[in-house]
Amino acid sequence: MADTKIIDYEFSYNKAAHLNDALRHLQEKGTRILAGGTDLIVRIKTDVEKPTGIIDISDVEELQSFVIDGKVEIGAAVKLSSILKVPVIRERYMGLYEAIDSIGAVQIRNLATLAGNLCNASPGADSAPPLLTLEASVEVASLEGENVEKRVVPLREFFTGPGKTILKSDELVTKIIIPSIDSDSGSAFKKISRVKLDIAKISCAVYLVAEGQIMRDIRIAVGAASAKPKRAESLERELKGKKFEQGLLEEKANLINKDISPITDIRSTEEYRRNVAPVLVRDTIELAWKRAKGAE
């Protein structure tokens, strides 16, 4: 009954008018950021968190930008549903599109943000694997006096553990930055979950660049199979620069178990995740290859 629970304690609520305003409130101890609230409100209702203040950034203009100019920049307040409506995302970043489309239902995607999905830092965050394969970064801001200070952090350095990131208490993510991608690339995302709207038991994203029959570049990331979303670097090294062949994938796919450290939890078991990981990775690579070759 968490969806109907009354929040029975007091906290301050402020709707930020601009970035400086948000950062100023964030300096107050115990204040949490609300962009869509799809994670935060649930955590408050279930007594996992009890913030003393909430700062709503959903109307901050600086955080609503969506820039496509070679690279892609997505503001922290941009809703997931808005990202899905941008043609270039589906045309060129299909793995990311598939991951976002798998997050909850339409009602959730109309509220949730990409930055929020990352900042929640769940090991099974659907958007994290494709963004890791795209070598995305996050821009982080804080307030120094009256000046906004920004730094850019590679996403692979952003997560530090389950529910944990490099963010300091007075910092917020302002945007996600995705570098330009190769014209001969293809990407894909797949996940296994108990039901369609559930969090993944395990997920995989692949970004692949084809040169003739060679996998000139390949990046693989797995979610819900380690303490944080991570790249499968051992498997990447075995496949990069090799000719795409079904036999090669069958032979090398088991190496994924060198790159993951799954646990048994309420959604699945360590054994299941280790058994299914090679199959999931192989299927995702095959789909990314087809897209890189223009077959899909």
- Kindly give the residue spans of alpha helices, DSSP state H, lying in the chain: 19-26, 40-45, 80-84, 87-92, 94-101, 106-109, 114-119, 128-133, 233-239, 246-252, 256-259, 270-292
Same domain, 78 and 140: yes
178, 202, 234: which is the final residue of a domain?
A: 178
Residue 186 CA to residue 215 CA, distance in Å, equals 11
CATH of the domain at 260: 3.30.390.50
Co-location of 166 and 66 in the same domain: yes
* Stretch (H or E) spanning 68: strand 66-69
Which of 178, 193, 225 lies at the terminal end of a domain, its last residue?
178
Q: Report how many domains make up the chain.
A: 3
The domain that contains 72 carries what CATH number?
3.30.465.10
C-alpha dihedral sign at 58, 116, 174, 187: negative
Give the C-alpha distances (Å, rounded to integers) separating 277 from 55, 159, 175, 254.
40, 21, 31, 8
34 and 77 fall within a common domain? no
* Residues 173 and 84 occupy one common structural domain: yes
Q: Are 204 and 227 within one domain?
A: yes
152 lies in the same domain as 67? yes
Domain that holds residue 26: 2-56
Domain boundary among 134, 151, 178: 178
Query: 170 and 268: one domain?
Result: no
CATH code at position 39 = 3.30.43.10
Find where tokens 């051992």 sit: 234
H helical segments located in 111-191: 114-119, 128-133
Per-residue pLDDT tens, the chain, 296 aa: give them. Answer: 445 678 888 999 999 999 999 999 999 999 999 999 999 998 998 889 999 999 999 999 999 999 998 899 999 999 999 999 999 999 999 999 999 999 999 999 999 999 999 999 999 999 999 999 999 999 999 999 989 999 999 999 999 999 999 999 999 999 999 999 999 999 999 999 987 677 899 999 999 999 999 999 999 999 999 999 999 999 999 999 999 999 999 999 999 999 999 999 988 999 999 999 999 999 999 999 999 999 86
How much is the pTM?
Answer: 0.95
Phi and psi at 152, nearest 5°, equal -110, 130
Are residues 79 and 25 part of one domain?
Answer: no
| Judgement on whether residues 25 and 116 belong to the same structural domain of the protein | no
**Pairing, β 31-34 against β 66-69:** unpaired
pLDDT of residue 4: 65
Residues 69 and 101 in one domain: yes
Q: How far is CA 4 from the centre of its chain?
A: 28
Please tell me whether residues 78 and 170 are part of one structural domain.
Answer: yes
Structural Rg of the chain based on CA atoms: 19
* Helix-, strand-, coil-residue percentages of the chain, each rounded to 5: 35, 30, 40
Question: Do residue 167 and residue 195 come from a single domain?
Answer: no
